[in-house]
Chain A
Amino acid sequence: MSFSVLRSASPKAPATERRKFRDLDAEAPRATPDEIRAWLSDVASPAAEPGEPSSHAESIARAAETFLDRGSSLRREAARGLVLATGFPAPVAEEAIDRVFAPLASAEEVLDAAGAGRLRAFPATAILAAGNVPGVALPKACLALVGGGACLVKVAAGEPVLAPLFHDALAAVDPALASRLHVAWWPGGDRAWETALAGTFDAIVAYGSDETIASLERLGARQFTPHGHRTSGAVLESVDRSDPEVVRGLAVDVSLYDQAGCLSPQFVVLVGASAEDAAAFCDALASELDALADAWPPGDAEGAAVDVRRFLDEGEWRGLGGAPVRVWGSGVAPRWGIVLDTEAGRYRTGRGSRTIRVYGARDVAAFEEAIAASGLPLECLGVGPRAAVSRDAAARRAPRVAVVGQMQAPRLDWRQGGLDPWHGVGIVR
C-alpha cells in the first residue's frame, strides 16, 4: 500500500524518501527543524486565535467517528497500515482502531478530559511516540488542540499509521484545527532534531525506553513529561474467579498487543485461593489464551516462541528444582505461557509475548503487602467486576484500576503515570 507519514499544513513540502516501517512502504518526510519552526510561526503565534474548546472537541469527535465506521476508506487504510507496520493480525488492528477512537468520538469525554474545557494548552507541544501500541500519542495531541495549542506528533517507527490518518480525518471536518497538528517522523536519537525540539517547543511529552527518556530529559526542555516503562497486573477475588467472562477478559488483556503496552497484565494475584482453585483458574485461563492465540496470532511468532519458552523453562526448572511452581504452556511452538507460583512473597512481571505469572495471597491485605514489597512501577491493576475490597486496594496501589477485559481500553481521563490527563500539554485554571 502507498502511505505517507507526513501530515503538515506547511506550504513548503519537505523532501521525502521511501522507507519501510516493518512491511509498510511509506513516504517518510525529510522535514527539517527549520520547517517545523516555520509551521509553528504560522499556527502558534501569540496572535493566533485559540478557538472554542467545545467546537474543537466536536471536530475531533467527528474525525474520530470516521474510524469507527467500518465502511469508511480511512478505517480500511488504518487497518491495513497497522497490520503491515505493527505485525499485529487484522482482528487486532480492528480491535485497536475501536479502542483508540471510541473515547475520542465523544466530544463530551474529550472536553471533560480537557479539564471540562478549562485547559489552556501550551502554545507548542511536541509528542514523541514510541513502540507499536496503536495510537498512543493521539489522546494528548487532541487535548493540546482542544486547549488551543499547536502539536507536533513524532510517530514511532513501530506505529506510523494512525496519527497521519487522523490528521486527514480532522482536515476533512475542520481544516483550521488540523493546521495546528503536524505529524512527522525522523529516526529516533537524531541529535539535531532533538536539540531543536527542546529550543522550539514549550513542552515535550515523550514515550519510550528508559534510555530514550533519559536522553531526552538531558535536553532540558522547558516542560518535559516522560512516559517510560510501566507495568500492570490484576487481582481477583473468589467472587469473580469462576466467572468465565472474567477469565476471558484477563486473557484478552494479556493477548492484545502481545503485552507490548504498559496496560497489559503481566501477573495476576488470586486472593484466598486454594491450590486446587488456583490450578483450576490456570486451566481456564490456558483455554482462553489458547483460543485467542488462534484468533489473534502473535505478531512475531518466532520471537514470541523464544520469549515464551524462556519463561516456561524458568518455571519448569524451578519446579523441578523443588520450588512450588507449575507451568501451563502451549505446545511445540509456544504462543503463551502461565507460571503458577502461589507461595511467592513478591510479584514479578512475565517476559512479554503473552506470559503471565499467577500468584496467591491469603487476603487483600497480604496482596497489598506483597505488591508494595515488589516495587513494580504499576500503571494499572485489573479487578473483577464484583469485588469491592480488592478494587479499593488496587486503587491505593496503581494510578488506574479497570475491570479485566478493559485494561487496555483506557478512557481519556486516564491518569497515566499518576498524572492528570492534560499533564504536559497545558494547564487547567
Chain B
Amino acid sequence: MDPGVILDRVRAFVGGASSESFESLALDVFRFQYESVPAYRAYCDRAGRPPENVATWLEVPAVPVAAFQHADLAAPALEGGLELETSGTTEGPERRGRHRVAVPEIYREGALVHFRRLVLPDEARLPFVALVPTAAEAPRSSLCRMVAWLSESFGAGAAQHFVREGALDLEPLRERLEAASASGEPVMLIGLTHALVELLDALRDAPLRLPYGSRVVDTGGTKNRMRPVSRNALLRMIWDRLGISGSFVANEYGMTEMCSQFYDSSILDHFDGRKRDRFKVPPPWVRSRLADPETLEVADPPVPGARGLLRHWDLANVASVSVLQTEDVGLWGEEGFEVAGRAKGAERRGCAQLLERVRG
C-alpha cells in the first residue's frame, strides 16, 4: 500500500475534508500498518488475524500500550518525525514507552481541531499560562509538544510556562494570576493536574477570582504524586480558589502512545446550552470501547453503566499502530466514558511483593 495515499486519506479525514467512512479507513489503515510495522505484523499473524481475517474495525488486533516499551512500533518506511517518550512508570525510567510519530502534521492537525472544538468553541484567544515545561526543556514529552502547538495557534501572545526543572514556580505563577485577576483579561490555565493541585493548595488562604471566560485544562491525574484528589473535589477547589466554574474546566485524557486526545464535554456543553454529566469526547477519527478486564472481550455497543478497560481505535496513529489496549478503567455513561483509574491487578497481600516494581 502506498504510504502517501493512506496518509493523505487520514489527513483529509482528520481535517474534516473526507466523506469516507470510519470503517473503510480503519481497515485500510490496519492493512497499511500490518504491511509496514514488522513487529505488529508478527503479532497479528501469531494471533491468526492478518487483514484477510479482519472484517470490521472492531476486529483489528489491539496492541497493549506496554508494547511501546519493548518494541519499535513505528513504520520503518516513514523516517524521521517526533521521538516521544512517556515520563516513566513505577517500574523505573528504563521502562519508558517510546513512540515515534513519523507524521507530526497529522498529530498537530488533530490536536488543534479537537482542542478548538471542545475547549474554545467560542473561538476565544486567551494567553496560555502553562503548568508544564516548555517543549525545549522536555522535547520528548507529547504533552509539552501539544501545549506548544495549542498556544502557538490559539494563544494571545507567547505562552508563559511555570514548571521548570520538574518544579512549579509558584510565586511567579501567583503573580501572573493576580495580574490577570486585576486586569480582567481571562487566561487559559493548562497543564498537569498535580501542578494545578499544588497551586490550589497554595491559594487556600488567599483565593483569587480569575476573569470570566478563563479556562482550566488539566491532565495526568494526581495518583502517585501527592494526596489523591477526586474530580469533584478538584472542581470545587478550582471554583473556590480561582473563581472558575466547572463549565470552564475540562480534563484532558491522552497518552504518549496515542496521537489523539479526549476532552471533557463540559465547556462545549456550556456554550451549546446543554446540561448533562461530563464525559470524555473523542475526535471523529477515534472510537473507544470497553474490554472485559478478565477476557479482553469488547462489548459493542457499549452499555451505559458498564465498566472495563478502555480500548481506542485512533486513526491519527496511522504511522505506528492504531488500536491500543490500555489499562485505564472506563465507566460508560449515556453518551461516552469517564476514566475511573487504572486496572489494579491482584491485590498484593503477601511478603513476595512486586520487587520488580522497584528494581526495574
Find B351's partner among A261, A307, A348 (CB 8 Å cutoff): A261
A318 proximity list for chain B (CB < 8 A): 70-71
**In the bound complex, do residue A302 and residue B350 qualify as a contact, i.e. CB atoms below 8 Å apart?**
no
Known contacts A232-B352, A320-B42; decide if A314 and B346 are in contact (CB<8 Å). no
Interface size on B, residues (CB 8 A): 31
| A48 in contact (CB, < 8 A) | no
| B343 in contact (CB, < 8 A) | yes
**In the bound complex, do residue A207 and residue B351 qualify as a contact, i.e. CB atoms below 8 Å apart?**
yes
B355 proximity list for chain A (CB < 8 A): 229, 231, 349, 376-377
Find A321's partner among B39, B343, B346, B353 (CB 8 Å cutoff): B39
B345 proximity list for chain A (CB < 8 A): 303-304, 306-307, 310, 351-353
A323 proximity list for chain B (CB < 8 A): 70
A47 proximity list for chain B (CB < 8 A): none
**In the bound complex, do residue B39 and residue A320 qualify as a contact, i.e. CB atoms below 8 Å apart?**
yes
| B64 in contact (CB, < 8 A) | yes
* Interface segment, one of B49-57, B101-109, B278-286, B289-297: B289-297
| B275 in contact (CB, < 8 A) | no
Q: Which chain B residues (306-360) contact chain A, with CB distance < 8 Å?
A: 327, 343-356, 359
Q: Which chain B residues (12-32) contact chain A, with CB distance < 8 Å?
A: none
Number of A-B contacts (CB under 8 A): 134
**In the bound complex, do residue B66 and residue A375 qualify as a contact, i.e. CB atoms below 8 Å apart?**
no
**In the bound complex, do residue A313 and residue B67 qualify as a contact, i.e. CB atoms below 8 Å apart?**
yes
| A131 in contact (CB, < 8 A) | yes
Q: Which chain B residues (88-123) contact chain A, with CB distance < 8 Å?
A: none
Min C-beta distance of A88 to chain B, whole Å:
11
**In the bound complex, do residue A306 and residue B43 qualify as a contact, i.e. CB atoms below 8 Å apart?**
no
Min C-beta distance of B219 to chain A, whole Å:
24
Find B346's partner among A261, A333, A352 (CB 8 Å cutoff): A352
Q: Which residue on chain B has the smallest CB distance to residue A159?
A: B349
A261 proximity list for chain B (CB < 8 A): 350-352
A263 proximity list for chain B (CB < 8 A): 352
| B72 in contact (CB, < 8 A) | yes
A379 proximity list for chain B (CB < 8 A): 351
**In the bound complex, do residue B351 and residue A133 qualify as a contact, i.e. CB atoms below 8 Å apart?**
yes
- In the docked arrangement, what's the CA distance between A317 and B295, Å? 19
- In the docked arrangement, what's the CA distance between A228 and B350, Å? 9
**In the bound complex, do residue B350 and residue A306 qualify as a contact, i.e. CB atoms below 8 Å apart?**
no
For chain A, which range describes its interface: under 10, 10 to 19, 20 to 34, or 35 or more residues? 35 or more
Find B352's partner among A210, A231, A303, A375 (CB 8 Å cutoff): A231
- In the docked arrangement, what's the CA distance between A364 and B67, Å? 34
**In the bound complex, do residue B351 and residue A306 qualify as a contact, i.e. CB atoms below 8 Å apart?**
no
Known contacts A303-B344, A313-B66, A317-B71; decide if A260 and B352 are in contact (CB<8 Å). yes
**In the bound complex, do residue A348 and residue B71 qualify as a contact, i.e. CB atoms below 8 Å apart?**
no
Known contacts A307-B345, A313-B64, A333-B294; decide if A230 and B70 are in contact (CB<8 Å). no
Q: Which residue on chain A has the smallest CB distance to residue B293?
A: A302
Q: Mark A375-399, 1 if CB is under 8 A from B, else 0.
A: 1110100000000000000000000
Q: Mark A262-275, 1 if CB is under 8 A from B, else 0.
A: 11101000000000
Min C-beta distance of A419 to chain B, whole Å:
14
B70 proximity list for chain A (CB < 8 A): 314, 317-318, 320-321, 323
**In the bound complex, do residue B350 and residue A260 qualify as a contact, i.e. CB atoms below 8 Å apart?**
yes
Min C-beta distance of A1 to chain B, whole Å:
21
**In the bound complex, do residue B359 and residue A262 qualify as a contact, i.e. CB atoms below 8 Å apart?**
no
Known contacts A301-B294, A320-B71; decide if A230 and B39 are in contact (CB<8 Å). no
Q: Determine which residue in B64, B293, B327, B346 has the highest number of CB atoms from chain A within 10 A of its CB, and name it.
A: B346
Known contacts A133-B351, A352-B352; decide if A258 and B346 are in contact (CB<8 Å). yes
Min C-beta distance of A329 to chain B, whole Å:
12
Q: Which residue on chain B has the smallest CB distance to residue A350?
A: B356
Q: Which residue on chain A has the smallest CB distance to residue B357?
A: A351
Q: Which residue on chain B has the smallest CB distance to residue A261?
A: B350
| A69 in contact (CB, < 8 A) | no
**In the bound complex, do residue A300 and residue B64 qualify as a contact, i.e. CB atoms below 8 Å apart?**
no
Q: Which residue on chain B has the smallest CB distance to residue A320?
A: B39
Min C-beta distance of A357 to chain B, whole Å:
10
Q: Which chain B residues (54-91) contact chain A, with CB distance < 8 Å?
A: 64, 66-67, 69-72
A302 proximity list for chain B (CB < 8 A): 293-294
**In the bound complex, do residue B293 and residue A306 qualify as a contact, i.e. CB atoms below 8 Å apart?**
yes
B359 proximity list for chain A (CB < 8 A): 348, 375-376
- In the docked arrangement, what's the CA distance between A305 and B72, Å? 26
- In the docked arrangement, what's the CA distance between A352 and B356, Å? 10
Min C-beta distance of B1 to chain A, whole Å:
21
Known contacts A317-B39, A317-B70; decide if A131 and B64 are in contact (CB<8 Å). no
**In the bound complex, do residue A314 and residue B66 qualify as a contact, i.e. CB atoms below 8 Å apart?**
yes
| A192 in contact (CB, < 8 A) | no
| A125 in contact (CB, < 8 A) | no
Q: Determine which residue in A263, A302, A310 has the highest number of CB atoms from chain B within 10 A of its CB, and name it.
A: A302
**In the bound complex, do residue B353 and residue A303 qualify as a contact, i.e. CB atoms below 8 Å apart?**
no
Q: Which residue on chain A has the smallest CB distance to residue B41?
A: A320
**In the bound complex, do residue B64 and residue A133 qualify as a contact, i.e. CB atoms below 8 Å apart?**
no
**In the bound complex, do residue B352 and residue A130 qualify as a contact, i.e. CB atoms below 8 Å apart?**
no
Known contacts A306-B327, A306-B343, A317-B66; decide if A230 and B352 are in contact (CB<8 Å). yes
Find A132's partner among B294, B295, B350 (CB 8 Å cutoff): B350
12 A-B pairs besides A264-B352, A375-B359 with CB distance below 8 A are: A133-B350, A298-B346, A300-B346, A313-B67, A320-B39, A320-B67, A321-B72, A349-B355, A352-B345, A352-B348, A352-B354, A377-B355
**7 tightest Cβ-Cβ pairs between the two chains A and B:** A260-B350, A303-B346, A321-B71, A262-B351, A317-B70, A131-B350, A317-B67
A-B contact pairs, 16 of them (CB 8 A): A156-B349, A229-B352, A258-B346, A260-B352, A300-B346, A305-B294, A306-B327, A307-B345, A317-B43, A317-B69, A317-B70, A349-B354, A353-B345, A375-B359, A376-B355, A376-B359
